[in-house]
Structure formats: C-alpha cells, structure tokens
Structure 1
Amino acid sequence: MGTFAPGITDPCLITIIIDSVPPSCVGIVFQESCDMSEHIKIDIAALRKIGWNHWDPIGIRQLDDSASRTNAGDEYDTYLLQAANMILQGATCETVAAYLDEIMSGSMALGPPSEAVHRASLLTAEAISAYLQVDRASF
C-alpha cells in the first residue's frame, strides 16, 4: 500500500512510495497536468545511491552495525524524492541544494550548513539532475 510523501506542496505533483517492498521499488511522479498517463518513474534505489554517496547528513553510512544501516536505508527517501520533483518542475540545482541545506539545518536541526556541506548538497542535486536526464532519455 502506498503513502504520500510529506512536503509535496503542489497537489498535481504526487510522489508515491511503495511500502514493504525491496529498495529497488519505484516512486512515481505525476507531472503538472495531473494526467495519470503522463508520469516519470523514479528508481528509489538510484536516488538512495546518490543520497548515500553525496548527501548523508546524519552519518548513517558510517554506522558500524550493518543492521542499523539496512534499517535506515530509506531515511532520506522523502527528501531525495522531493529534490527530484523540484528538478522535474524546473528548479535549478542551486535551489535544490538550498532545499537540502534547509532540511539539514531545519528539519534535522544540524545547524547552519558549512561551505563543505553546501557543496555536498549541490553535488547531490547535480547527481539527481544527471540521473533524471539519463532516465528520461530512455522513455
């Protein structure tokens, strides 16, 4: 059964996260038209890989306990899906990086982002944008 991701402000832009399935599940993003036939599939595993490689603000990948890392595998899904949604709606990578910085400083209460942290957010946004460009070319 799917649940709607929090943080979606445009009612025509809906992200569905499929619960209780392997990390290779697919999120579905509906475009502005709200036409259910016009959608882009986003591979959650691909976004997770980007997030874990570039943007791990609370340091989960550094945990020694592999079970904890496995259980936290979806920790950043909502944020990364929202970042992908923003890019699909035309936001710049800098805007998306600012969103990720705000998540870290506001929602995660990690304080203001340093320059290095902002670079990680920007790299994440750029990697998501590149993934979406390649993925969209295959449709």
Structure 2
Amino acid sequence: MPDLPKVKLSRLREIGWSQWDPIGLSQMGDDDWKDGGPCADEYDSYLLGVVGRLRRGEPTSDAVAYLEEIEIDHMGGGRNPTTLGRAEATVAAIADYLATLPAGPLKVR
C-alpha cells in the first residue's frame, strides 16, 4: 500500500494560530501556543474539521460557517466584527495548503 499524503499538523497550527485564534491564546506568550507549548493543540480538532469538510468537497462557505459556530456557540465567544473575516481567512489558507497536496485520502502527522 503506498504512503498516503500527510497533512502537517504543524502547518495547520500555523494557520489556525495566525488567522483564527478565536479565544486569543496567542497573546499569552510564544512558548505557550507554538508547537510543543501547552496550548499548541487547542484548535487541532476544529482545524482538522475544516480539512475534512474541504476534502469531502463541501463548499468553503460551510467550512466558514463551521468555524463561526465553534467560536460563537461552542466556545461562547459571541459574534464580533472579526469573526467572519478570521473564519474566511482560515478556511482560505487551509484550502490553499490542501491544494498543494495530492488528491485522495490523507493522514495527519
């Protein structure tokens, strides 16, 4: 069986922390939220949720709505003037990253 293309979790984290960061953890300090820090994996499941939606061919608007729902309802942050723009930027950056990977099943590393 050939090796499946790998989604680099570190790249997803770079995107999530620089584009989205709905609860502002990046303000804590560099060592806390960068890879290896105690908060590094805080958004992993949500970012992987976006990957799954995009790889299944769902519209980017659905992935954006997913991130908005996570921030507004699940995290209880409510909607603010930057909510939509950050979600859109995050989904666009993840889509751009995924476009560099071969089509087909992926695994995370």
**TM-score band, normalised by shorter chain:** 0.7 to 0.9
**Which blocks of at least 5 consecutive residues in structure 1 are unaligned?**
1-35
The percent of aligned pairs where both chains have the same amino acid is: 34
**Which blocks of at least 5 consecutive residues in structure 2 are unaligned?**
104-109
Larger Cα Rg: Structure 1 or Structure 2?
Answer: 1
2:67 to 100, 103, 106: 100
Query: Aligned equivalents of 1:105 and 1:74: distance in 2?
Result: 20
Q: In the comparison of the two structures, how many residue pairs are matched?
A: 100
TM-score calculated relative to the size of structure 2:
0.81
User: Residues 59-98 of structure 1: matches in 2 within 5 Å?
Assistant: 59-64=24-29, 66-69=30-33, 70-98=37-65
In structure 2, the residue matched to 1:6 is none
Counterpart residue type for residue 108 of structure 1: M
Higher-strand-fraction structure: 1
Instruction: Answer 1 or 2: higher relative contact order, Cα 8 Å, separation at least 6.
Output: 2
1:135, CA displacement in angstroms?
A: 2.0
Aligned-pair Cα RMSD in Å = 2.0
1:38, CA displacement in angstroms?
A: 8.7
